[in-house]
Amino acid sequence: MSTLAPEGLPTTAPEPLRGEALPELPELLPCPFCGGVAEMVDVSWMLGARRALCCCIECRAQGQDVQYRPGPDHGLRDEAMYAATCAWNTRAPCRRRDDPEAEGRL
């Protein structure tokens, strides 16, 4: 289940179950560092494996890459793209320095 951060952004991504149809890819949020536009990238890697990841086209920040092996129905590619999109859109809640509960955890 997804929880909401104070800003209203999800802190965890929903996990699709194997064999279920994946939901439509969510829209990519702006870059958390520069606010630039993000895009999904699908690149070939080693020994036939591929990587799906999101990156900012302005500052070149990259999200978590998800490796997969292409198959005949593109199911693994779609799962990898969904996981990479959810990882990019996940934002950790900000801790304020004057928060007494954050004392010693910064």
DSSP 18: T
For residue 5, the model assigns a pLDDT of: 47
- Structure tokens belonging to residue 29: 């949020």
Name the pLDDT band for 94 (thresholds 50, 70, 90): low
Non-local (6+) Cβ contacts of 13 within 8 A are 2, 83, 86, 87, 89, 90
Low-confidence winner among 9-18, 32-41, 62-71, 94-103 (lowest mean pLDDT): 9-18
Is pLDDT above 50 for 4? no
